[in-house]
């Protein structure tokens, strides 16, 4: 999946502040993305929010590639390989409280991830979900791990490339 800015839609998750880092717009526009291809959404609960954005913004659009990015990401030069890497799903690596989530190179996390439209079209809904242990006490998969596993099961390739700055902070309640 070659990055084609004219065919790309960016979805910025702006919950709960409804504000985004200014470098998100600057970085994408620098790489040729028309500014009107940047959409934001804000809704509580990451799974419901992202699933709604896919259903209501991404799929009805004519975009062939969708980028998911959290409002507190800070892309710069080091993030550029994320755009040029090949793969049906491509994720960037970014600082998080638990860096162990990066141990599997074939997992993309939705803080910064791009995917081919076909992945969303062919995947059974919900696209994102959080999986708990049978007793409901522990999280087994974050919503993006759930997404990655389903994409892989459909035969899509997943890879990671590029580094993105990120303001690590406590996740808001209900995230
Ligand atoms: Zn994740």
Residue spans of the domains in the chain: they are 5-166
Residue 18 confidence (pLDDT) = 86
Instruction: Give me the mean pLDDT over the 64-84 stretch.
Output: 96
Q: Is 5-166 CATH 3.90.550.40?
A: yes
Q: Rounded to whole angstroms, how far apart are CA atoms 71 and 23?
A: 10
Q: Which two tokens stand for residue 61?
A: 């659009």
Instruction: Determine what percent of the chain is predicted with pLDDT higher than 90.
Output: 84
**Ligand 1 mean position, distance from CA 63 (Å):** 23
Tell if the pTM clears 0.75, that is, is over it.
Answer: yes
Between 171 and 82, name the one with better pLDDT.
82
**Ligand 1 mean position, distance from CA 31 (Å):** 25
172 pLDDT above the threshold of 60: no
Least confident of 55-59, 83-87, 100-104, 126-130: 100-104
Residue 1 confidence (pLDDT) = 83
**Ligand 1 mean position, distance from CA 109 (Å):** 4
**Ligand 1 mean position, distance from CA 112 (Å):** 10
Peptide bond into 72 cis (omega under 30): no
**Ligand 1 mean position, distance from CA 90 (Å):** 13
Residue 144 confidence (pLDDT) = 92
Tell me the HSE value of 60 on the side-chain side, using a 13 A CA sphere: 6
**Ligand 1 mean position, distance from CA 48 (Å):** 14
**Ligand 1 mean position, distance from CA 128 (Å):** 10
Report helix angle 46-53 to 143-153, nearest 10. 50
**Ligand 1 mean position, distance from CA 84 (Å):** 22
Residue 170 confidence (pLDDT) = 54
pLDDT digits (tens, 9 = 90+) for 75-125: 999 999 999 999 999 999 999 888 888 998 888 999 999 999 999 999 999
Residue 173 confidence (pLDDT) = 46
**Ligand 1 mean position, distance from CA 147 (Å):** 9
Residue 17 confidence (pLDDT) = 85
Instruction: Give me the mean pLDDT over the 122-149 stretch.
Output: 95
- Strand runs labelled E in 61-127: 65-70, 73-74, 89-93, 112-116
For the chain, the maximum distance between any two Cα atoms, rounded to a whole number of angstroms, is 48
């Amino acid at each position: 999946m070659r990055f084609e800015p004219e065919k790309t839609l960016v979805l910025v998750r702006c919950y709960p502040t409804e504000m985004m880092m200014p470098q998100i717009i600057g970085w994408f526009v620098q790489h040729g993305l028309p500014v009107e291809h940047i959409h934001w959404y804000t809704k509580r609960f990451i799974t419901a929010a992202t699933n709604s954005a896919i259903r209501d913004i991404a799929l009805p659009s004519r975009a062939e590639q969708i980028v998911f990015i959290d409002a507190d990401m800070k892309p710069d030069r080091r993030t550029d390989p994320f755009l040029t890497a090949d793969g049906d799903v491509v994720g960037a690596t970014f600082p998080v409280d638990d860096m162990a989530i990066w141990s599997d190179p074939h997992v993309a996390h939705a803080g910064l991830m791009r995917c081919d439209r076909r992945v969303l079209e062919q995947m059974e809904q919900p696209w994102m979900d959080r999986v708990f242990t049978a007793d409901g006490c522990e999280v087994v998969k974050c919503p993006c791990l759930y997404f990655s596993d389903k994409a892989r099961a459909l035969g899509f390739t997943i890879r990671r490339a590029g580094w993105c700055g990120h303001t690590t902070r406590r996740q808001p309640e209900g995230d």
